[in-house]
Structure 1
Amino acid sequence: MSATKRTASARSPTNLTSRVSVFNSQVTLFEAADDPDDTPRRSKRAKKEVKREDSILEDVEDLEYTPSASTPTPRKRKAAVKSEPKQKKAASKSSPAKRAATSESPKKAKPIPQVLSTPHPEPPNWRETYNTIKEMRARFIAPVDTMGCQRAQLEETEPRNKRYSTLVALQLSSSTKDEVMHAAVIKLRKALGGSITIEGMIAADEEVIHEAIKTVGYHNKKHGYLKNAAIMLRDKFDSDVPDTVDKLCALPGVGPKMAFLTLQVAWNITDGIGVDVHVHRITNLLGWHKPPTKSPEQTRLNLQSWLPKELYADINHMMVGFGQVICVPASPRCDECALSKKRLCPSARVVDGKNRKAIVYLETKESPPEVEIALEEAEEETYMPKS
């Protein structure tokens, strides 16, 4: 038999008939026999796809029908599968107090690093740059001056509440403008009965807290952080704000920036620099980091390795206000910046400020000349009335 015949016969199904061609005796022709079902032959690939679909359908059907009494019913298994996400969803909606009571104790937080193994060198002309920014900051009022985290404690009378309201304001401040954060603190204080206290935060309903702070960034997480942090402060820190950065960072929603600023404002302790997005961004624009830092924590460690410690307490407030008014992120006011005029900023650019909103500077009052006052006093002393 020829190769053609062998291949044909090997592939020929049972419903084909063969006959020799009348034109050529070496050629065999195949014809389809009458099929009562009249169904076309399916390819192996089609059979596999159908088998796969059937298996999927069988899996679905197994969830609906009971195979035997000895094994769990598929219907029950389906109910268990469906109820699992509901249980997770219900757990996520449970109050922070219940989650804190049922969850395991958190792992001990790693100590916050304070020094670099290799200190970063001092950038050139940093002192002149720093003093120039400080002089500019003295000439205008920024949002951080009137609505920053340090303002939250002014409405409280008890020292513990002053410290706690400062911490709460900083917890709300991340990814939020000072104006929005300040308004949320006022609304939260009103919702808690006129004072921001640890006891009031624990007793308040979670929805009440959420409603008060819903304008701040990440409010869906922060209201839980506030609740859980208050519970931890009560249980582990005698209902007061701790006075070390490591203990503060163990609280939910508290990072190094918040911890260092809390120590500075609440306890008058300066252990490090509170580096936020403004300090991180502006110091990189000034070229103070070689290579540029990629995170606020890298920026903090670099700055702490060369900046004098007596400036730790001032740099955050100074840079934040400078970044809110002059060195704004979207379109910096290089036309109003003294660093640009003195060529101290490598990132300065030419800016047309004609159509920009004018910056309101504080008026400086000149004191009267001392010489004139001295002359007037001398004349009064030598004056003698006639008899």
Structure 2
Amino acid sequence: MPRKRRRVRVEYEDIDAETAEKKIKAALLKKETSARSSAESLPWEPVNWRLQFENIKAMRSERSAPVDQMGAECQASSTLPPNVSRFHVLVSLMLSSQTKDQVTDAAVKRLKDYGLTIENILSITEEKIGKLIYPVGFWKRKANYLKRTCQILKDDFDCDIPRSVEGLCSLPGVGPKMAHLAMNIAWNECTGIGVDTHVHRIANRLRWVRKPTKTPEQTRKSLEEWLPRELWKNVNLILVGFGQQICVPVSPRCHGCSNSSMCPSSSTKNK
């Protein structure tokens, strides 16, 4: 005997046009919120940063910027006792703040000619140190920092520089930028990105920071959130030279920059 088919009753919701429109908007909003939430869960990174970085490395291929010839990397020497070589790197970094590489390099050379060792610096007055390092920026203050640092290195670190960011930052006039660079150059240990005014400026111009930053230290923390760690060691040297030759502080040479078409700050855009 054939089975009777069961009738299914279909009920239609009786809604007006206004209610239907509200439901559609609510569904779209839910979908958009879900998509935004998924995007925010992914690691943030700047648009086109890999291509921009490769372009910068290509523009820096000649290594002809002042930092390449006179930066702190140039002060390390395999012919000196390791602790003395490391001390030279630290001194160069301490004198470099607010000072052009050419001026810093000349001051370090005068110190070396006099005898740049912890013992020799401790044996002379701050006035003498000041005369040797003048005209580096804030030379009087740096003469004081250098004298005090040498005493600390002798008393607490066996006439060597500290092998930690914390130890280096405990020295007078040494901040995170110098500490990370000293760890990288003197100890060959990459503990963080060295961010000076050049790196700070370029990172903001290229929008390599999630939000605009006001200080180099803020920029360092922002860069370290997304920049692959294998690039931390060399990014300072690459960007500093780029900032000295092309992406200069005033009137950057955007027409000669390979990134001009994709740089948010380029003066060549919309022209």
TM over 0.5: yes
CA contact (8 A) 2:210 2:222 kept: no
- The one-letter amino acid of 1:220's match is K
In the alignment, the residues of structure 2 paired with residue 296 and residue 238 of structure 1 have an alpha-carbon distance, to the nearest angstrom, of: 31
The structural deviation recorded for 1:119 is 10
CA contact (8 A) 1:129 1:339 kept: yes
Aligned to 1:348: 266
Aligned to 2:92: 169
In the alignment, the residues of structure 2 paired with residue 204 and residue 314 of structure 1 have an alpha-carbon distance, to the nearest angstrom, of: 36
| TM-score, scaled relative to structure 2 | 0.81
- Listed one character per residue, the Cα deviations across residues 301-325 of structure 1 (whole Å, up to 9, x for unaligned) are 1111111111001110000000000
1:126 aligns with 2:49: yes
Alignment of 1:195-344 (within 5 A): 196-340=116-260, 343-344=261-262
Query: Across the two proteins, how many residue pairs are aligned to each other?
Result: 229
- Change in CA separation of 1:153 and 1:204 when aligned onto 2, cut-off 3 Å: farther
| Identical amino acids, percent of aligned pairs | 49
Alignment of 1:66-77 (within 5 A): none
Runs of at least 5 residues in structure 1 that lack an aligned partner in the other structure? 1-117, 352-387
Moved over 6 A (4+): none
Aligned to 2:17: none
CA contact (8 A) 2:193 2:236 kept: yes
Aligned to 1:3: none
- Change in CA separation of 1:166 and 1:120 when aligned onto 2, cut-off 3 Å: farther
Aligned to 1:188: 111
- Listed one character per residue, the Cα deviations across residues 328-364 of structure 1 (whole Å, up to 9, x for unaligned) are 1111111110001xx221100139xxxxxxxxxxxxx
- Listed one character per residue, the Cα deviations across residues 253-274 of structure 1 (whole Å, up to 9, x for unaligned) are 1000000000101000001000
Higher helix share: 2
Q: Which has the higher contact order (CA 8 A, sep 6+)?
A: 2
The structural deviation recorded for 1:214 is 1.3
| Larger of the two Rg values belongs to structure | 1
Alignment of 1:52-63 (within 5 A): none
CA contact (8 A) 1:119 1:305 kept: no
The structural deviation recorded for 1:120 is 7.3
- Change in CA separation of 1:120 and 1:202 when aligned onto 2, cut-off 3 Å: farther
